[in-house]
Amino acid sequence: MNHDRAMATDDYYAVLGVDRRAGPDEIKKAFRSLTKQWHPDRHPDDLEVAERYRRINEAYNTLGDAAARARYDMTQRLEGIELRRGSGGQGARDLLGQVFGDVFGTRRERRRRGRDLRYTLTVSLPDAVRGSSHDIEFEAPGPCDACRGTGTRPGGQPPQTCSLCGGKGEVKGEGLLARRSPCGRCSGLGLVQPDPCQACRGRGTRRHLRAFVVNLPPGTEAGAERVLTGEGEPGRFGGTAGDLRVTVNVTPHPWLRREGDELLCELWLSVSEAAAGAKVPVPTVDGMVHVDVPPGVRSGTKLRLRGKGAPKRGNGRGNERGNGRGSGRGDQLVTVVVETPVLGGAPHVAEALRRLEEACAVAPGSLPRRHAQRAAFEGERSSES
């Protein structure tokens, strides 16, 4: 388990695919549906799914609790300032780092490792489903140019073991129940810079504009995480760099909704289009297509656009192609809804409908089901009285 993960928290809202202003019910609903979808029992031996399940639970543990959520929103604001704006958030972040002090072995190594950076990448549904490449840019700590990340002034003495803690990184207090606490002189790192670089004050890192390309594979879902190994904060005193962890946030599409490898949408038709059939435009993640609606279509009918859904996930039975992804794409399901005319604003529509009703009345074959049902019901009512 990577300890540093505890320091920089994930974007829990993006993981659950909810808005920052979402109410408790909406959050609970998103959590329930995601845990159902990403339950490890449904995807045995899939480590990616197990990790996603863990992150969903972690997000809900915080967002599902009002007090924990308020605290999280506060730290997010601090971290958000840090990642986007540059100056100002450093102090708060250092404080956080101390709150989550090291408790496991190889302490110094971990302290010297650079922290992870978190970035939330917001993309459209088509970009997520089809796969896409994104340039991202933000201000964050990177290696200092002046000292090449060493923290030592050019030509100065190399780092030395801290004399206060003897390189242990921590000091022991007085008394029987004395606790160990991080060394104040070296901040727990065990090493100090006798000749610190002027530009970075010996940290080896400086904030500057950092740019990356994030590639999303086809079928990326809201809440997915892409890890750019070693692209986080540089380590100190030769420690490894942290990672850049990008959480994908998918903006809701005005017409399309994703459910697993299927995309769903509604298609509104007029009474006459439904009766006569029509060729109508329908949005897909690949752009607009024209769909032939058959004559006599009923409200609720689902038309299937094959291969217009999201890529299928591998089901672990050996039919995958590539890196564990399933073969082919799912379908888009278009649910037909016949729109009942609104009479208020259009007198001639009302007139046309009256004439339609009269015409149907003398031609029972035009509305066979309604005719048969009405006849049966009318008959029943008269036999009761």
What size, in residues, is the chain?
385
Which segment (25-33, 52-60, 107-115, 137-145) binds Zn ion by CB under 5 A? 137-145
27 touches Zn ion (CB under 5 A): no
**Separation of alpha carbons 36 and 49, rounded Å:** 12
Which segment (14-22, 38-46, 97-105, 140-148) binds Zn ion by CB under 5 A? 140-148
Which segment (20-28, 157-165, 220-228, 277-285) binds Zn ion by CB under 5 A? 157-165
Applying CB under 5 A, which of residues 49, 186, 297, 338 lies at the interface with Zn ion?
Answer: 186
Helices (H), ranges, the chain: 12-16, 24-37, 47-63, 66-85, 90-99, 107-112, 125-130, 271-276, 347-361, 368-384
CB of 228 to Zn ion, least distance (A): 23
Nearer to Zn ion, 22 or 199 (CB): 199
Question: What 3-state DSSP class applies to 139?
Answer: strand
Applying CB under 5 A, which of residues 18, 165, 222, 282 lies at the interface with Zn ion?
Answer: 165
Nearest to 18 by CA among 7, 32, 6, 5: 32
Residue 63 near residue 27, CB atoms below 8 Å = yes
Applying CB under 5 A, which of residues 14, 59, 129, 162 lies at the interface with Zn ion?
Answer: 162
191 touches Zn ion (CB under 5 A): no
Q: Which amino acid is at 310?
A: A
> Pattern of binders to Zn ion over 59-98, x per CB under 5 A?
----------------------------------------
Six-digit token string for 96? 């956080």
Nearer to Zn ion, 182 or 326 (CB): 182
Nearer to Zn ion, 189 or 282 (CB): 189
CB of 71 to Zn ion, least distance (A): 31
Applying CB under 5 A, which of residues 70, 99, 164, 346 lies at the interface with Zn ion?
Answer: 164
**Separation of alpha carbons 187 and 32, rounded Å:** 43
Applying CB under 5 A, which of residues 27, 63, 96, 183 lies at the interface with Zn ion?
Answer: 183
User: Applying CB under 5 A, what is the total number of residues that bind Zn ion?
Assistant: 12
140 touches Zn ion (CB under 5 A): no
Applying CB under 5 A, which of residues 71, 185, 208, 354 lies at the interface with Zn ion?
Answer: 185
Name the strand (E) or helix (H) holding 215. Answer: strand 205-216
269 touches Zn ion (CB under 5 A): no
CB of 212 to Zn ion, least distance (A): 22
CB of 255 to Zn ion, least distance (A): 52
Residue 206 near residue 174, CB atoms below 8 Å = no
CB of 166 to Zn ion, least distance (A): 8
199 touches Zn ion (CB under 5 A): yes
Helices (H), ranges, 178-317: 271-276
Six-digit token string for 51? 């990790």
Nearer to Zn ion, 6 or 164 (CB): 164
Which segment (159-167, 250-258, 275-283, 333-341) binds Zn ion by CB under 5 A? 159-167
Residue 198 near residue 184, CB atoms below 8 Å = no
Other C-beta atoms closer than 10 Å to the C-beta of 258 total 23
Nearer to Zn ion, 159 or 283 (CB): 159
Phi, psi at 252, each rounded to 5°? -65, 140
Report DSSP letters for 290-350, one per residue.
EEEEPTTPPTT-EEEETT-SPEEEP-SSS--BTTTEEEEE--EEEEEEEPPPP-TT-HHHH
Footprint of Zn ion (CB under 5 A): 144, 146-147, 162, 164-165, 183, 185-186, 197, 199-200
